[in-house]
A and B are shown apart, each in its own frame.
Chain A
Amino acid sequence: MGSLTVRDLSKAYKVYPSHLARVKELLHPLGRKYHQLKWVLKDVSFNVAPGEAVCVIGVNGAGKSTLLKMLTGITQPTSGTVQTHGQVSALLELGIGFHHEFTGRQNVVMAGQLLGMSVEDIRRLMPQIAAFAEIGDYMDQPLRMYSSGMQMRLAFSVATARRPDILIVDEALSVGDAYFQHKSFDRIRNFRKEGTTLFIVSHDRIAIQAICDRAILLDNGKLAKEGSPDAVLDLYNALIAERETTTIVQNKTADGRVQTISGTGEATVSDIKLLDSQGRPIEVTNVGAEVTLEVKVRINANIPHFVLGYMIRDRFGQPIYGTNTYLKQLPILDLRKGEQINFRFDFAANLGPGNYSVTVALVSSDHHLDNNFEWRDLALVFEVVNFSRQQFAGCAWLDPVVRVQRQE
């Protein structure tokens, strides 16, 4: 059985003002330092007992990946110690050491050797590895013939061919299709039943609650909370909500999507916000919460007819709901240059958990696009999180009152 002890673990990266500074430091006879330290993890301490399953959560950049890399011995800590008892296996990134020109079987041997297995071990485990990956006759084809899902399946299968004492898993590990995700998750769960100590980074609330005994919240490189998964998840959600309210970023593009703004410019959106019921700007809201979409428009020319419309889209860009001032029978006429108009749309966020974006259109009429003053994709991005409702599936919250009648 494996255990982990982490004491005052800190990591700082050296940041050089220029490339030349790095060279100067390397060659400086007296060892003068030209770098500054950027701390990404500061004085983190915790224990993971044998057979325990612990999750780490935190926003991007909180230091989770750095922590995992130090636990596995890839990255050296700047200070502090990591002690592991038992054999450690890490699923940080799959397919390391795979080469496209070699067959699946050759790559399995290579990847296994990289994990320190002997050829006999690998040969013995080969049938089981091939069976679990479910790639059939492709096993003897070069890897470049594989789909990315097949490669990932094979990689996962090798990486987990032997049950380690301690398994360290990164969140990015959603392998292949839903069926295989289940299968891989099952394998990890079975390891746990057989006594493997688990250390997992995840965002998936369901996974965390299903598998973890304890959770650790990292925030800005510090251990912000350690405790039951529920308590830590609640604090995490509150933390992101708080962070989003204090720093509102306009025209933000979520997950690298490109925002498109087009139009003639006679009217422009000067500000757009999502407000909670107390009028505070938010970017995360609860399922079913009362929210307000506030749009401020600046008028740059005299406009006889004006219509504002918006569309809420899911993360794939599919329309969820849209309306406009014409449909709501609010004619806006004879606008003067220099005017400022505030629009407020109050509604209940009866949406499923997930990311949503708002597209705003400023036009002259409902049915025509010839006077397109401004069209703004991804004008606002917000997240719906299920804080308090029962679990449900889908992108709309259509909570029913359930009656069950049984008839003889």
Chain B
Amino acid sequence: MWNFRGFVLGSIRREFQLRYRGAVLGVAWAAIQPLAMIFIYTVIFSQVMNAKLPGAEGAFSYGIYLCAGIVTWGLFAETVQRGQSIFLDNANLLKKLSFPRLTLPVIVAGFTLANFSIAFGLFLIFLLLTGNFPGLVVLAVIPLVVVQMLFALGLGIALGVFNVFLRDTGQISGLVLQFWFWATPIVYPVSILPDWMRSWMSLNPMFHLVTAYQQIFVAREWPEWNGVLLVGCFAVGIALYALGLFRRKVGEIVDQL
């Protein structure tokens, strides 16, 4: 696997080149999209529409709340989506070439993380400029992203294996992700939900992660680690299951593709 690090890095770079090929602004687009998003959520929502987050001070608090959830959810959703199509997208390589197959999820993770870093970096710069930077607690993002990536990759690979044998998986997972997004307090605060719903919410792993991000950026305090730890254990379980499933089925995947 280590010998193929060049392949992994090259593939990530190539994905970026392919995505922005032929565009005059090139890779700058990777920054323009999230910039536009931050602009809409902060300036338009907070300033123009004057949307306020209950219980939070500051002109930008709702915009920051939205960005904290949406940028990190974006990383999750993109990783899962690319994970579930990973074997179908690379069918040709898998069928014709002998190489360490686990480089494929590593490439997916590298690409989505790089994409995320751009948006997230811009978000941090925005916070700095508007005087909303949370300070040292921002470091808590690192373990959160690690847990989230483990969860997303595990889920993505498992779905990817199923998707080879049952193409409906890809369609279904796209739908489920949409419902999941709205079932997670990203756009709305969890406090507006009725009590019975809130008690169910703790079963949603993304609820714990997104809440932790929001805690960091809106309240500027260290997140609630208990929930994150629970999700971490769950993520390890999912990742191990996905790895086992992949190892068991890799032969059949190649036969089926």
Chain A residues near B (Cβ < 8 Å): 13-14, 22-23, 26, 72-76, 88, 90, 92-93, 96-97, 99, 101-102, 109-110, 113-114, 116-119
Contact = CB atoms under 8 A, between A and B. Distances in A.
Given A116-B3, A118-B3, A118-B6, 14 more contacts: A14-B255, A26-B162, A26-B165, A74-B95, A75-B251, A75-B255, A76-B250, A88-B98, A96-B96, A109-B10, A113-B4, A116-B7, A116-B99, A119-B6
A116 to B, nearest CB: 5
A99 B13 CA distance: 13
B162 to A, nearest CB: 7
A75 B254 contact: yes
Nearest to A66: B255
Interface in B84-139: 92-99
B25 interface: no
A113 B254 CA distance: 21
Contacts of B165: 22-23, 26
13 contacts: A13-B255, A22-B165, A75-B251, A76-B250, A88-B98, A90-B98, A96-B96, A96-B97, A97-B97, A99-B14, A102-B14, A102-B17, A119-B6
Interface of B: 3-4, 6-7, 10-11, 14, 17-18, 21, 92-99, 162, 165-166, 250-252, 254-255
Contacts, number: 62
Given A26-B166, A76-B254, A96-B92, A113 B10 contact: yes
A261 to B, nearest CB: 38
B93 A96 contact: yes
A93 B6 contact: no
Nearest to B100: A116
B113 to A, nearest CB: 20
A117 B93 CA distance: 17
Given A14-B255, A75-B251, A113 B6 contact: yes
**The 6 A-B residue pairs with the shortest CB-CB distance in the complex, in nearest-first order:** A76-B251, A113-B7, A73-B98, A113-B6, A116-B3, A72-B98
A97 B251 contact: no
B14 A74 contact: no
Contacts of A114: 7, 93, 97, 99
A226 B53 CA distance: 79
Contacts of B98: 72-74, 88, 90
A110 B14 contact: yes
A102 B162 CA distance: 32
A62 B236 CA distance: 45
A74 B166 contact: no
